[in-house]
Amino acid sequence: MIAVVDFGSQTAHLITRRIKENKVDVKIFTPQQALLEIKKINPSGIILSGGPSSVYEKGAPSIDSSIFALGIPVLGICYGMQLMSKALGGKVVAGEKEYGPAELQMSNVKSQISNKLPKQFIVWMSHGDRVISLPSGFKVVGRTESLPFAFVCDKKRNLFAVQFHPEVSHTQKGDQILSNFIKICGSKRQSHDIDVDSLKTGIRETVGENFVIGAVSGGVDSTVAGVLVAEAIGRKFLPVFVDNGLMREGTREHVERIFKQYKAKVIVVDAKEEALGKLKGVLDPEKKRKIIGKLYIDLFEREMKKFVDLGKDVKFLLQGTIYSDVIESKGSKHASNIKSHHNVGGLPKKMKLKLLEPLRYFYKDEVRSIGRKLNLPKEFVERQPFPGPGYAVRIRGEVTPKRLEQERIADKIILSELDKSKILDKVFISFPIMSGAFSTAVKGDARLYGEVVAVRIVTSGDVMTADWAKVPYEVLQKISSRIVNEVPDVSRVVYDITTKPPATMEWE
């Protein structure tokens, strides 16, 4: 077993997933419990995760330095590297912040940790601090242009550290680094395939004889979660689609078509006017999420009462929450709150319904895998993610009927042009943003002071990292020309080429 010590990293759970993909057992511990628990279970290896803190700050999470003298191989990642270095006599300082790709150049130091790694490859950075002096016994395995100590090791003590994130999909050869570490640990390997039948069994055991009302928004997550529950409990599942006017066209029909085969009639709640009314004058995206989250709960509790009046004992609310939602909404004690998802941090504290979240500890690509195991059609499984609050969080500033229509037209244009160019199935997500910025344009020899539309198209696997899609210029030109010509009162189009990190996937 590998022990992962979580210092609040956005990707701590992703580390455990990568270990499981190598068919090795893994368990997460907090820094406070780490030393005691590690002595109890005697793991074959220890991984120290990243985190948002600085090791030199008062109150920063730490661990007993005796952990490095247990004779167990240790891999420090980002904050974990800095913590290891400081604990063993190195020096860590605030440096220039670095987010996104960097080229790693390997040194001539030979170590098992560097087996099968090329001389140079791209790694993914997300840090503000850096090690400027290594502890005694450490050698440099790899460096980048700005970091002389990007990848280091002490072969004698089996201590290894990287400033980048090998667990994220955009780090080339990250899987190889983790696989090398596992081999150094001598960990016993066994199968860790997702067992859909056990997920269904868990749902039945949790629900018992109660009914479940399901929030099905038409996205991949809620669709897969809904189908799982429908297969697990049959007619006791009551799918509800809230038509808030903020979703892509055709979403209602998509939801009804999916659940028809499970003989589950989708209850459609028309909340278009109510949603727009509650969003009137609201500018802050966090407030939008919370408003929509509360509206959803109010609506579902209203529907619950109708079912109860019909003699159906509804106790649970199904949500398609996945792990990236949890992580960005402060998923652990030392983590930062990036944003409140409408179905995590956006929910009211007091609810009459208990939450049922069967996908809570899975990433997006794992959810798609579960969907394939459930024999869902490919076009549904590969459907682009769409935020629960819908277009509301893709419109910067107030959501008005006019801006909602502008967003809807621009969205159709992007999807259409990517589809015609056979690019749509190669990107993770694509959407326009009504930016709230205005600039001057000339249309028909007349001056127009119109809104700027930003376009975001990215590639990603696990949602925790993303790179901007290298869409051909001629496709971007078509998208730009159509938006400024077909969307009323738009002055220009800009293309977002920011990676995640530092940016989030959406624009809140």
Q: Give the angle subtended at the CA of 244 by the CAs of 292 and 391, to the nearest 5°.
A: 75
The CATH class, in words, for 196-381 is: alpha beta
Determine the Cα–Cα distance for residues 179 and 128; give it in Å rounded to an integer: 27
420 contacts: CB under 8 Å, gap ≥ 6: none
Domain 2-185 is classified in which CATH homologous superfamily? Class I glutamine amidotransferase (GATase) domain (3.40.50.880)
Neighbour-count burial for 257-289, b at 16+ CB within 10 Å, e otherwise = ebbeebebebbeeebeebbbebbeebeebeebb
Q: Give the angle subtended at the CA of 355 by the CAs of 353 and 359, to the nearest 5°.
A: 160
Determine the Cα–Cα distance for residues 241 and 254; give it in Å rounded to an integer: 11
Which is it for strands 2-5 and 74-77: parallel, antiparallel or unpaired?
Answer: unpaired
User: How do residues 186-211 score in pLDDT, each as one tens digit?
Assistant: 988 877 678 999 999 999 999 999 99
Q: What is the pLDDT of residue 349?
A: 63
Catalytic residue chosen out of the listed positions 13, 98, 127, 167: 167
Three-class DSSP category at 247: coil
**Which phi and psi (to 5°) does residue 496 adopt?**
-80, 115
Q: What is the pLDDT of residue 434?
A: 98
Sequence spans of domains, the chain:
2-185, 196-381, 400-495
Domain pair 2-185 / 196-381, same fold:
yes
Joined together, the tokens standing for residue 219 give: 């996205």
Q: What is the pLDDT of residue 347?
A: 53
- Please confirm, yes or no, whether 167 is among the known catalytic residues: yes
Provide the β-strand partners of residue 13: none
Determine the Cα–Cα distance for residues 10 and 331; give it in Å rounded to an integer: 8
**Which phi and psi (to 5°) does residue 260 adopt?**
-60, -40
Instruction: Give me the residue label for tokens 């959803």.
Output: 296
Neighbour-count burial for 336-355, b at 16+ CB within 10 Å, e otherwise = eebbbbbbbbbbeeeeebee
Residue 415 has what DSSP assignment? H
Residues in the chain predicted with pLDDT less than 50, given as ranges, are: 329-332, 334-343, 345-346
Peptide bond into 166 cis (omega under 30): no
| Domain 400-495 sits in CATH 3.30.300.10 | yes
Joined together, the tokens standing for residue 135 give: 């502890």
- For 268-286, give the DSSP string: EEE-HHHHHHHHTT---HH
- Please confirm, yes or no, whether 78 is among the known catalytic residues: yes
354 contacts: CB under 8 Å, gap ≥ 6: 315, 316, 317
Catalytic residue chosen out of the listed positions 13, 127, 165, 170: 165
